[in-house]
Amino acid sequence: MPAHVLILGGTTEARRLAAGLAARPGVRVTTSLAGRVTRPGAVAGEVRIGGFGGAQGLADWLRTHHVDALVDATHPFAEAITANAARAAAATEIPWVVLRRPGWRPGPGDRWYDVPSLAGAAEALPGLGRRVFLSTGRLGLAAFAHLTELHFVVRSVDPPEPPLPPDTELVLARGPFTVADETELLRTHRVEVLVTKDSGGEATAAKLTAARELALPVVVVRRPPLPRGVAVVSDVAGVREWLGLSPL
């Protein structure tokens, strides 16, 4: 059984995993957060906050803190930290696994447009609607800044930094949101098209149901690829199994 597990966190799954491991005698669990959110939710076990200083910094941290297993439970779009984890795990020969919740798939009645990036979403938007609900988070909004003809409703936990599209309305809120919440938001702001990352999971899926019910098109930014050859599990139970721990 591994003695010290480092979880690269910032997701609901990371928090759930930490809670399960911290309750287990003989396991030391540390969750690492990037420090992007001003008031992160409570996390069980030890917590460290802030970047490591690249792959080398992470490798040093793993060695210095005698980490036995590394779990990358970061968001599917947190590409840089996952690349660093791959390099640090290779350098230290510490076993690592990626926890990635499954992506979203369209159902009957959905009008989804897949794009490979935020820039791709910006390209697709003008043909789809003038009033846009942008629920891609507060980072990367510069990709939409040149779209002067469109009205954007941007929702994020903390305020985004410029550059933003000139006609932007901010909605500061933290999920999860219900289908009723999302329907009201889409109606109130007379949204014509929604943009989302393919985050997957239940916590932020209500907006997709609301869009379907209102027959709105959805631009879905698909995920960046994972490093080649990495072990991937889709849920917390999969990590527990990978760690050789019995289910709860």
By the criterion CB under 6 A, which residues form the site for ligand NAP? Answer: 8-11, 32-34, 36, 51-54, 57-58, 74-75, 77-81, 84, 137, 197
| 33 vs 89, beta carbon nearer ligand NAP | 33
Residue 82 Cβ vs ligand NAP, minimum distance, rounded to whole Å = 6
The dihedral through the CA atoms of 89, 90, 91, 92 has a sign that is positive
Least CB distance to ligand NAP at residue 159 (A):
16
Determine the Cα–Cα distance for residues 76 and 99; give it in Å rounded to an integer. Answer: 9
Return the residue nearest ligand NAP (CB atom): 51
What is the rounded CA–CA span in Å between residue 210 and residue 233? 29
Contact between 134 and 153 under an 8 Å Cβ cutoff? The reply is: yes
CB of 167 or CB of 234, closer to ligand NAP = 234
d(CA 30, CA 16): 13
How far from chain centre, in Å, is Cα 40? 14
CB-wise, 156 or 183, nearer to ligand NAP? 156
Nearer to ligand NAP, 36 or 111 (CB): 36
Q: Which helix (H) or strand (E) holds 59?
A: helix 54-64
Instruction: Tell me how far, at minimum, the Cβ of 35 lies from ligand NAP, in Å.
Output: 7
Least distance in angstroms from the C-beta of 198 to ligand NAP: 10
